[in-house]
Structure 1
Amino acid sequence: MPSSIFSITRAGALAATLWGMLAITNCANAVDNVIVLDSGEARLTLIDEATHKVIGTESTGKEPHHLMITPDGRSLIVADSVSNNLMFVDPHTGKVQRTVQDIEDPYQLGFSPDHKWFVTAALRMNRVDIYRYDGTNMVLVKHIELARTPSHMTFASDNRTVFVTLQDSGELAAIDLPTQTVLWKMHVGNEPAGLWMTPGDRYLLVGMTGEDDVTVVDWRKQQIVKKIHTGRGAHNFRNLDDGKHVAVSNRVESTISIIDYTTLTNAGDITGLLPGPDDMELTPDKRYLWVGFRFARHVGVIDLTSRKLIDTIAVGRSPHGIFFDNRAPVVSPNPD
């Protein structure tokens, strides 16, 4: 073998070895972070998941309320409702990647299950905006007027239907995505907010922020099946990924109820919390539930085995959306 070829081959092997060692080192030193949106501070807070210590902050637009990972896992979308934009940030570091302007009042956001549709609820403007998504860009298809105060949403698994709660009119609306038309609206109670679809798309659970219960809706028949007593200000949901339970935050009662969605009953309440529990996120190992306390400038960590609050972490005003960076894949450059 000529020495020049040998040198190139050896150099390539050495580079690959060094790259592998670097990758292993980075993996060993990797820190799993939690991103929390401080909607009252126009910023996000970065927390070390293991130590529960704040390790940094990053400026956002005004009133970042909700967030969502992109389908490819490369970006976390932060919806800045008052700044009328979407910020794409690195899901591992919180650093801003790019900003998409002229997305009006994106209070809530969501992708259809097939990722072809992107929907925002413009709470202040009394409308829902539907976009086509091509993997990179959002192209506006239609504004849909939906008075009053559209807030939370969820999708049917058929990729055709998005459901939206209208807080101030007390209604639940169903929108057909391919035709961008309102299929129906029905009254469900006082200040409906969070939505969660039970497995098999059987029922919609609606958090009644103006009441003390979760309303169960048979959406195909547009009928209320029952109301599950939880606590005052039932607001938002997080599936506990155990095949049986979903948590609902009771923002006024300052409790979290565990609903058995197989029996449609309240399986117990988590008490001893700070004021205003709202958005929640489950750790990947399913052992802990993190919750933002909107009225207390803290995030809490709940041990789901004992159902006790075991730690609180000071953040900014009005903490809202929560995201664990280890739920997004790490995309490494190709060394070749």
Structure 2
Amino acid sequence: MPGVSNPKNLYADTASSQMSAAVKGDLERIYVPNLRGNSVTVIDPVAMKVVDQFKVGRSPQHVVPSWDLRTLWVANNAERTNEGSLTPIDPRTGKPSGPSVKVDDPYNMYFSPDGKSAIVVAEARHRLDFRDPKTMALQYSIDVPQCGGINHADFSIDGRFAMFTCEFNGSVAKIDLVERKVLGYLKLAMPRTRLKDTPVKPNSKGEPPASEICTATKGMPQDIRISPDGKRFFVADMDADGVHVIDGDSFTEVGFIATGVASHGLYPSRDGKKLYVANRGSHRIHGPRKGPGSVTVIDFATEKVLAEWPVPGGGSPDMGNVSADGKWLWLSGRFDDAVYRIDTTTGDMVILKAGPEPHGLTVWPQPGRYSLGHTGNMR
């Protein structure tokens, strides 16, 4: 596995200046999987317009950069049917580069830090399928029986273990990647209060939502990202309206940061100093339009909130990533059939139209030596 060049900031190799030779010639594009449209919308971020749209498999969830940065895989999980597949996209042409590869239930996909395996997250099967990263032939599987809704992950700084969130159990699973086994599960603590997710009124000036007693008995953890020094993991929780902080070695919860309604996606800034939190605006899995969606900016070093950017008129920020130059945060608007381009300095937003129920969009190309998967967890 490639070593970390800066142990104090494992994101140092994903700074704007660290573009790999492997992505030279790749088109600058935003790839948006439309869950209910069985399609991918392609946006030119310079022209700020849709330049293509093509059909993929059933229920595309995420567009995932491969470990070697040469393929973008569309994870079509077919929502609990037997039609799951992975559609390859050539980033130099922006188009599918071959037929879809049939795999079981690919809700999401990651790559082992050594690049030897693609990890298909078979959510409905409570299972992680390790596959050949080129052919997708099955290598072996790890059953995670107590992780209902297993979906998002991040990896330790030394690559020896990973943490996966368990959406429907309100917990996190720790996986030993060397011994290929589950090390344990951690139930996440819920706060006493959270935010109301009532729709935003017309002409809203961005007033923060009112608080309410948190009646949820367990969380709904979503995305997870590691701190720059590799010591802590941050877990977005849709039912807790904030981010849990977990010590990686002791596997204990050591803090909680309140953010916005339905914390969902997590993205580090290009300098590794900030964490952008996409708050989806509804505690429901299928929420309404014009919810109190927002983006929260957290300082990694102090674990304090620096800024809160509401979506003008309401919205549903979901998944995405930061542009290569660090100037823009691109997010899908899950319940509003939209894509948001957010200025990472001011929080100003431009809203573009997308297909039906856009989900795990990726920004490409991105800096970094290799991809750990998802929508571009780069190292």
Aligned residues of 2:27 and 2:91 also touching (Cα < 8 A): no
Distance in 1 of aligned mates of 2:365 and 2:121: 27
- CA deviation after TM superposition for structure 1 residue 263, in Å: 0.6
The answer as to 2:77 corresponding to 1:81 is yes
RMSD: 2.1
Aligned residues of 1:167 and 1:192 also touching (Cα < 8 A): yes
Identify the residue that residue 214 of structure 1 maps to in structure 2: 243
SS at match of 2:365: helix
Distance in 2 of aligned mates of 1:184 and 1:62: 33
Distance in 1 of aligned mates of 2:252 and 2:224: 16
Moved more, 89-98 or 195-204: 89-98
The answer as to 2:299 corresponding to 1:270 is no
Give the structure-1-normalised TM-score. Answer: 0.84
The answer as to 2:271 corresponding to 1:259 is no
Identify the residue that residue 314 of structure 1 maps to in structure 2: 353
Identify the residue that residue 98 of structure 1 maps to in structure 2: 98
Deviations 1:78-134 (A, max 9, x none): 11111311111112433222345341111111112221232122222222222354x
Alignment CA distance shift 1:205-1:298 (3 Å): same
SS at match of 1:159: coil
Aligned match for 2:31, one of 22, 31, 35: 35
Alignment CA distance shift 1:260-1:328 (3 Å): closer
- Gap regions ≥5 residues in structure 2: 1-24, 190-218, 282-291, 369-379
SS at match of 1:41: coil
- Whichever structure has more strand as a proportion of its residues is 1
Deviations 1:273-297 (A, max 9, x none): 4421011221111111111100111
Aligned match for 1:48, one of 19, 44, 48: 44
Give the structure-2-normalised TM-score. Answer: 0.74
Identify the residue that residue 333 of structure 2 maps to in structure 1: 293
Aligned residues of 1:81 and 1:105 also touching (Cα < 8 A): yes
Deviations 1:29-50 (A, max 9, x none): x963221111111000111111
- Whichever structure has more helix as a proportion of its residues is 1
Distance in 2 of aligned mates of 1:262 and 1:142: 36
Distance in 1 of aligned mates of 2:100 and 2:157: 28
Alignment CA distance shift 1:95-1:199 (3 Å): same
Deviations 1:296-331 (A, max 9, x none): 11101111222111x2111101111222333389xx
Q: How many residues align?
A: 300
Aligned match for 2:234, one of 205, 213, 222: 205
Distance in 2 of aligned mates of 1:220 and 1:110: 21
Aligned residues of 1:58 and 1:94 also touching (Cα < 8 A): no
Distance in 2 of aligned mates of 1:226 and 1:145: 25
SS at match of 1:65: strand
- CA deviation after TM superposition for structure 1 residue 137, in Å: 4.2
Distance in 1 of aligned mates of 2:54 and 2:142: 31
Moved more, 96-105 or 236-245: 96-105
- CA deviation after TM superposition for structure 1 residue 176, in Å: 1.2
Aligned residues of 1:46 and 1:56 also touching (Cα < 8 A): yes
Distance in 2 of aligned mates of 1:71 and 1:164: 18
How does 1:2-81 map onto structure 2 within 5 Å? 32-81=28-77
Distance in 1 of aligned mates of 2:238 and 2:183: 24
Identify the residue that residue 224 of structure 2 maps to in structure 1: 195
- CA deviation after TM superposition for structure 1 residue 177, in Å: 1.8
Distance in 2 of aligned mates of 1:193 and 1:136: 28
Distance in 2 of aligned mates of 1:89 and 1:218: 37
Identity, % of aligned positions: 27
Code of the residue aligned with 1:268 in structure 2: it is A
Higher-Rg member (1/2): 1
- CA deviation after TM superposition for structure 1 residue 136, in Å: 4.6
- Gap regions ≥5 residues in structure 1: 1-26, 330-336
